[in-house]
Structure 1
Amino acid sequence: MRRSPQEKKRLSYAKDRRNTYGENDKSSRRNITLNRQLAHRADRHHADQALRGALGRPDEASADHAEQAARDRRPGRFRKHADVPLGEIVAARLQQRVRAGMDEPERTEARLARVHRHYRRTTP
């Protein structure tokens, strides 16, 4: 099925995403895996520290205590920040131009209405 340019723009505003986390989007490829690794490493470190308490003479109570301490801690979890739809980015930049005095508010209102018209049709 062929799409009209207007439909392509609507889909682009709704489905295209931009990274607004505040760092270089290319570095996210490396930092996401690094942060996941660090969370897993901290979990392993905590379990190791808890189990070291059971070293020495075998004792049922200390072994149970160490095992329970290793299980008690909730695992660390790294969560990614979701990227923002392109329609929201475009609207925010237009508003930012008005605040900076780079554009007239009336002109920006018309542009914002157009962006919202395109963006809101495809989002539920």
Structure 2
Amino acid sequence: MPRRRSPQEKKLLTYTRERRNEYGENDKSSRRNIARSKRLVTRANRRRASVALADARGAADTEAGAAAQERFERRRPKRWAKYPDEPLGDSIELTLRYRVEAEEGRGANVERLRRLRERLRRPDR
């Protein structure tokens, strides 16, 4: 049976494990846009292959086939990858840093930022 965690341990785990979408896009639209991006890349790669092989159609000709193959391999295929979401602790720290800069080092946010960094075991910057 796992041991019980203290509230402080739970909070630290929350700050490190939970993620926030910091890409600058609505997180709900990402569901649709991720699938769309994958589709568009795959479609572009299929199109590139079919255009390169269009000249090799017809009677069997090894030179035309080799030229089409060389033309196809000349360019890298398109790729797409997701950006990972940011850990919650990093997101909160960035928000507090902006607030401290806006207040020019005065106010309660300085103390909140210090406590957060202490909780995350990070040195003050």
Question: Structure 2 stretches of 5 or more lacking a match?
Answer: none
- Spell out, residue by residue over 1:6-26, the C-alpha distance to the aligned partner (whole angstroms, 9 max, x if none): 111111111111000011111
- Spell out, residue by residue over 1:75-101, the C-alpha distance to the aligned partner (whole angstroms, 9 max, x if none): 211111111111111111112223344
- CA contact under 8 A between 2:16 and 2:87: conserved in structure 1? yes
Which ranges of 4 or more aligned residues in structure 1 deviate by more than 4 Å?
none
CA spacing shift, 1:118–1:93, aligned 2, 3 Å: same
Alignment of 1:1-124 (within 5 A): 1-101=3-103, 105=106, 107-120=108-121
Output the CA distance in 1 between the equivalents of 2:67 and 2:61.
10
Alignment-mate amino acid for residue 48 of structure 2:
H
Question: Structure 1 stretches of 5 or more lacking a match?
Answer: none
- CA contact under 8 A between 2:96 and 2:109: conserved in structure 1? yes
Output the CA distance in 1 between the equivalents of 2:102 and 2:54.
59
- Spell out, residue by residue over 1:16-75, the C-alpha distance to the aligned partner (whole angstroms, 9 max, x if none): 110000111111111111111111111100000000011244322111111232233322
- CA contact under 8 A between 2:100 and 2:110: conserved in structure 1? no
- Percent identity of the aligned residues? 45
Deviation, 1:106, is: 5.1
Q: Please report the TM-score for the alignment, with normalisation by the length of structure 1.
A: 0.85
